Structure 1
Amino acid sequence: MKRILFAAAASLLATTAASAAPLSIDQAAKLFATRSSGWAPDLSPNGDRIAYLAAGPGSISYLHVMDVATKSDNVLLQSSGKPEQLRWCGFADDTWLICYFDGDVPYAGQIISSSRLVAVDSRTGAVKRLGVSDSSVSREFIQFDGNVIDWLPHRTGAILIQRNYPNLSNDGESGSGVDELQLGSFKFTKVVSPAVGSQYYSTDGRGQIRFRGVSEINQFGKLTGKQNWAYLKAGSTSWQSLPDFGESFQPLTVDRRTDSLYYLKPLNGRQALYSFKLDGSNVSTLVAKNDKVDIDGVLRFGAENDVAGYSYTEDREHLVYTDPAARALASSLSRALPDLPLINIAGNDKAHNRLLIHATADVDPGVYYLLDQTTKKMDVVLESNKFIDRSLLAPMRQIDVPMSDGKSIPAYITRSASAGTGPRPVVILPHGGPTSRDSWGFDWLTQFLAARGYVVVQPNYRGSDGYGKDFLGDNAIKSWKLVMSDIRDTSDWLVKQGIADPNRMAMMGWSYGGYAALQSAAMDQRYKAVVAIAPVTSFKKLRGQMAGFTNEDLSLKEIGKGDQLAEGSPVNRAGDIKAPVLLVHGTLDGNVAYEQSRAMQAALHRTGNQAELITFKGLDHQLADSDARTQMLTAIGQMLDKTIGH
């Protein structure tokens, strides 16, 4: 696999992009709808092979295993994507891979998420299920059967799995427990007996469970939101309660080297990183904070997989290594890959001599390198999307947008050189979540729009995550009026700056972003087109979708109640939307029910509005199907051409 030298590629990109005309709808739709050619790679303990996932036709995904020396590549496993999705596979030893499937499935009249864990022989493709076996005496559906909590890198052929047990009348055990699995023989040894309730366990990376959390459940079987946290001192079997760090306490990992628990909790309104000694002293130490944004998490490095730094996201993700060796490596990689600034370690062999390095940028979907730290040689082994011509991609930059109340919000603007200068047709693309955020980097949906000649603007409205408690507020559902105000002010600013043609603006979004697109169009008739993918259209229906789940009470609290929810639901304001609407939804969506889009289309039709609903049978919230995405992007391109032009 060859790749142009980066310095030369940057110059070529600028020349090509400036002279290129927008891609046709068919060209752009096919190009950007094609799913990734490589993701979630892992390196075998001996460093000889790489396992990775790759998209097949439609919604199919394949598990590949590549020989590093010969570059021979074998497909061992596949998932249909309807409903099961292969999410990741990792080497447990040089023979066995552990793979995680999930998907949305119909159950008891609802669409619910589920997951399964299997072992795969990396040489023969033989598959072994790792969840507790189904029993004829159990009528309980196991939603999530298990997950790996410790890969036991210091041992060979064993891992720790947290498994969920059904309520079996023949032995009385139910709930979540921890088992040690011997690979090959597939013998399970009980480490922690199953216990009723939602359990969370964390080890020191060497097989010793040191930390646990138990979610409190009320008399009706619902989660209350309260957690009981406890830890074990080294060598002890007596659990000690953790001090009360407040509701926003977020445990991350146990570090064996420092005998500490790393966790996040608020400091001056933003999540800061702390360490807590697990020696009984109850000593907490501030490790890192940022005055602008939350700390995201910790970084690990080295053969012992020790905590070696932390990450945060301002305009883009930043990795801060406190370990000298990790810091030196990061600095060296930055110099070697100046045009791919988002760099992280995606995998390593047991000795930490060979590393998988992933590097990406706004105008590059990403590339995986295999770095040999002994020879200092680094080769390309896998591209995240080998089908995309980098010269067709548009740069993204962050802007600060002033709001009418004197505050400002961050936003991202993506604009191809082929779009020309002066006021242009603009697509406002609010993110989903709702407690999520956009950040700098490659995005296939944004790049599709930019390749068609549109200026794309992604506002991180108030209610977005990562900027601290004040910016997050009550959340973007309860504070929907503020979200709409921020989007309106962003549109006003774009017009005032001469970026947007006020007569050629469209709204588009996915999930909560689809909600924001519809509600914005109901409150502001400047938008000439609306695209809503898997949107929330009724908060009442969203509340109803939570019924029966253990987290029902918590979800209802997050959504809120009262007249403001009815007022804030686009389905109740269909008559206020004057622009044509394109709705896109999968029927197997456990996140936002398909009925939300059907109800919105019916409401729009009752008011005489143009509303098309593209339905994808058997697909979930992500619509992870290249054919479906091609159809969707084609319809989006045609609609935007008719309404705002390119």
Structure 2
Amino acid sequence: MRASIAVMGMVLALGAVAARGEDGTAIAAKFGALEDVRQISLSPSGNQVAYLKPNAGPGVMVIVADFSTGQSRAVLNAANPGENLRWCRWASETRLMCKLYVAVNRSDLLMSATRYVIVRNDGTGQGYLSSGLGSKSIGGLQFVGDVLDWDIAGKPGHVLMTRQFVPEGEIGSNIERRREGLGVEDVDLESGKRSLVEPPRKGAVRYMTDGRGHVRLMATRGQNDDGYAKDEMRWFYRAKDDDKWLPFTTARDEDSDTPLAVDPDRNIAYVLGGKNGVDVLYGVALDGTGTRQVMMEQPGVDIDNVISIGRNGRVVGATYATEKRVNAFFDPELKKLGAALGKALPGQPLVEFVDSSEDEGRLLLLASSDSDPGQFYRYDKATHRLEQVLPMREPLVQMPLGKMTAVTYPAGDGSMVPAYLTLPPGVAGMAAAKRLPAIVMPHGGPGARDEWGFDWLVQYYAVRGFAVLQPNYRGSTGYGSAWYQKNGFKSWRLAIGDISAAGRWLTAQGIADPAKLAIVGWSYGGYAALQSGVTDPGLFKAIVAVAPVTDLDNLREESRDFVNFRQVDAFIGHGDHIADGSPARHAGAIVAPVLLFHGEVDQNVNVAESRLMADRLKHAGKDVTLVTFPGLDHQLAAAAARTRLLADSDAFLRRALGM
């Protein structure tokens, strides 16, 4: 194996040194830095990559690198306030298409809009891909659609896209065009010309193709009389070589019967569906019989997605998480290759196929572990050559990090809760971990779970000397319907009880010094951190909450002006759990000092939630500090903000815990 480091014009030997001797602010800057590679894509030939790299200041740039010449250049830069490039992909060997999110504030209502930017691989030909709206359009357009297919046979540089059609009219005229709803178009990215592939249908919300330019599935969702979207989603399918839509399946939002992809060779749709309390992967025939075949199942855990590869999105396997993420391949060649790469890279046991050339002869992959943020490689099947491309986080290369271990601990009712324990670098296992400062870190969601792998937040605190325990409390996904319960809000007592039990277990095992036990959480994790301070005052000696929910009714009201209000309303529910489970209403019960962080343009959880919590705590005479970040959303995706979050929280914890 020979490293091809010069491809990207960088030298890995300049990576970070060990953290010993560095002060907390310098270490915080290394962990607070955004990923050097936010997203990456391989060109159809496999000879070029394009990746998103954060600017030194605000925004992100698109870098194109050529493997054959070793040259790289910036071809696009999004640095205006409120702009954020999410991804860039190759529409052809010379043209890129990038998705741009723009935050907007209309009448004090925070919203986001999407637009597509196109650019050639030499940086020329930059422009917006028009949404098709004109001066006669009645109403606005927030989102410009999604790319369904990147490779239409015989049409290089064409993509298949959804488009939201709006009615058109003219003042003083009776002439109107009432085409309305979601349709599909063939878009020539060079000329901008559009050809209608699927006529717009009012109520259509999704389309799915077979990866070869044929639309095979469609989902519709109606509206109630109040204008809000209905819970029920109806899916329709097309048989091969037939334009007629036929009923496929009906599902409610929290049901699991969800199509993921279409396999044109097998003429099936891959669908997640429930069996024995967990999600399994079915292949459902698209020939009118509706025949279901179990393609993959795993006792006790949910299959959560398919693995696809190539420009056609060919499905090659499925994935699930037990103690570690498992990529299980249907494709025998990739199954063999994945196993071989795992052996070739013993220190990086998680191998993910990120992209491929058009012929799948060259693969782009990411190898990472709990203590390695990851390294991108290009693999050539013909030569069996594996080349290094880029590290995910260059400042952390060569820095000693903590090891993550899967553990279980007993909840109050005796249920065993799965969790991950990360110890400071140099602490050789649980037997050597004695009365350390420790953090319980519940994940966000609540419909999510933690997994084994690198986590910048966890690793920062581990390097700073903390043991960190991440509980997959009841309400987490991935462990089946019985573990999920009614979700982490409706079943908050179980969830918060499991999280508090994590702190008690750390002290009972002698891992944590009970006087130096803290809780840190983001989003729902921040909610859980605050609510644990209400239900178990004094257990945690310091609370850090990032972008937390603090009042469940307020969270509900934040969605009232959006069409998904009924789904959010049903998810949060009604009853005594609203008042009892809202920490802002019980601020007086919290005894630990509290540090809050929040972005001021957060559309997931409004900054008003943290401001309410801070005001209630101050009114109750509590120790509270609120830090807000202008112009940033829920993710706080800016190096300066994340560096401050880490440095300030570290200093706060040391003060509160007497370290």
Look up the match of 1:288. Answer: 296
C-alpha separation between the residues in 2 aligned to 1:336 and 1:112?
46
Q: Deviations over 1:468-493 (max 9, x none)?
A: 00000100011111111101211111
Look up the match of 1:476. Answer: 488
Is it true that 1:60 corresponds to 2:59 in the alignment?
yes
Look up the match of 1:485. Answer: 497
Q: Which structure would you say has the larger RCO, counting Cα contacts within 8 Å and 6 or more residues apart?
A: 1
Is it true that 1:636 corresponds to 2:649 in the alignment?
yes
C-alpha separation between the residues in 2 aligned to 1:302 and 1:32?
32
C-alpha separation between the residues in 2 aligned to 1:362 and 1:218?
47
C-alpha separation between the residues in 2 aligned to 1:632 and 1:346?
30
The secondary structure found in structure 2 opposite 1:217 is coil
Is it true that 1:248 corresponds to 2:248 in the alignment?
no
Alpha-carbon spacing, 1:29–1:286, altered in 2? closer, same or farther (3 Å): same
Counterparts in 2 of 1:54-93, with a 5 A limit? 54-80=53-79, 82-93=81-92
Q: Is the 8 A contact 2:4 2:387 kept in 1?
A: no
> How far did residue 424 of structure 1 move?
0.9
Q: Which amino acid aligns with 1:92?
A: A
Greater alpha carbon shift after TM alignment, 268-277 vs 216-225 = 216-225
C-alpha separation between the residues in 2 aligned to 1:463 and 1:82?
36
Q: Which amino acid aligns with 2:348?
A: L
Q: Is the 8 A contact 1:153 1:350 kept in 2?
A: no
Counterparts in 2 of 1:218-617, with a 5 A limit? 218-243=224-249, 247-301=255-309, 305-418=313-426, 421-524=433-536, 525-617=538-630
Instruction: Decide which of 164, 170, 179 is 1:173's aligned counterpart.
Output: 179
Instruction: Decide which of 199, 203, 206 is 1:200's aligned counterpart.
Output: 206
Q: Deviations over 1:253-289 (max 9, x none)?
A: 0011111100001000100000011112221111111
Look up the match of 2:9. Answer: none
Q: Deviations over 1:486-543 (max 9, x none)?
A: 0121111111111111111111110010010111112221211111111101111111
Q: Is the 8 A contact 1:362 1:440 kept in 2?
A: yes
Is it true that 1:189 corresponds to 2:188 in the alignment?
no
Q: Is the 8 A contact 1:522 1:574 kept in 2?
A: yes
C-alpha separation between the residues in 1 aligned to 2:647 and 2:205?
45
> How far did residue 459 of structure 1 move?
0.6
The secondary structure found in structure 2 opposite 1:242 is strand
C-alpha separation between the residues in 1 aligned to 2:594 and 2:306?
43
> How far did residue 391 of structure 1 move?
3.1
C-alpha separation between the residues in 1 aligned to 2:384 and 2:249?
46
C-alpha separation between the residues in 2 aligned to 1:245 and 1:614?
41
In structure 2, stretches of 5+ residues that fail to align are: 6-14, 170-175
Q: Deviations over 1:33-87 (max 9, x none)?
A: 0111113211111222110111112432111100112221111112237422111
C-alpha separation between the residues in 1 aligned to 2:20 and 2:67?
40
Look up the match of 1:7. Answer: none
Look up the match of 2:157. Answer: 157
Greater alpha carbon shift after TM alignment, 188-197 vs 76-85 = 76-85
C-alpha separation between the residues in 1 aligned to 2:398 and 2:231?
46
> How far did residue 326 of structure 1 move?
1.3
Greater alpha carbon shift after TM alignment, 301-310 vs 508-517 = 301-310
Q: Is the 8 A contact 1:61 1:81 kept in 2?
A: no
Q: Is the 8 A contact 2:368 2:375 kept in 1?
A: yes
C-alpha separation between the residues in 1 aligned to 2:274 and 2:585?
38
Alpha-carbon spacing, 1:305–1:282, altered in 2? closer, same or farther (3 Å): same
Look up the match of 1:107. Answer: 106
Q: Deviations over 1:2-36 (max 9, x none)?
A: 78xxxxxxxxx9xx98xx74752112211100111
C-alpha separation between the residues in 1 aligned to 2:98 and 2:308?
22
> How far did residue 172 of structure 1 move?
2.0
Look up the match of 1:626. Answer: 639
Q: Deviations over 1:575-598 (max 9, x none)?
A: 111111111111100000010011
Q: Is the 8 A contact 1:255 1:306 kept in 2?
A: yes
The secondary structure found in structure 2 opposite 1:296 is strand
C-alpha separation between the residues in 1 aligned to 2:80 and 2:479?
34
Q: Structure 1 length as normaliser, TM-score?
A: 0.94
Greater alpha carbon shift after TM alignment, 92-101 vs 258-267 = 92-101
Look up the match of 2:35. Answer: 36
What CA RMSD, in Å, does the superposition of the two structures yield over aligned residues? 1.9
What is the aligned residue count? 633
C-alpha separation between the residues in 2 aligned to 1:133 and 1:186?
10
C-alpha separation between the residues in 2 aligned to 1:570 and 1:103?
32
C-alpha separation between the residues in 2 aligned to 1:23 and 1:175?
57
Q: Is the 8 A contact 1:243 1:282 kept in 2?
A: no
The secondary structure found in structure 2 opposite 1:608 is coil
Q: Is the 8 A contact 1:216 1:228 kept in 2?
A: no
Alpha-carbon spacing, 1:302–1:108, altered in 2? closer, same or farther (3 Å): closer
Q: Deviations over 1:168-203 (max 9, x none)?
A: 334222221100012312210011122222421111
Q: Is the 8 A contact 1:131 1:164 kept in 2?
A: no
C-alpha separation between the residues in 1 aligned to 2:249 and 2:420?
40
> How far did residue 311 of structure 1 move?
0.7
In structure 1, stretches of 5+ residues that fail to align are: 4-12
Greater alpha carbon shift after TM alignment, 272-281 vs 390-399 = 390-399
> How far did residue 565 of structure 1 move?
0.7
> How far did residue 103 of structure 1 move?
4.4
Look up the match of 2:8. Answer: none
The secondary structure found in structure 1 opposite 2:298 is coil
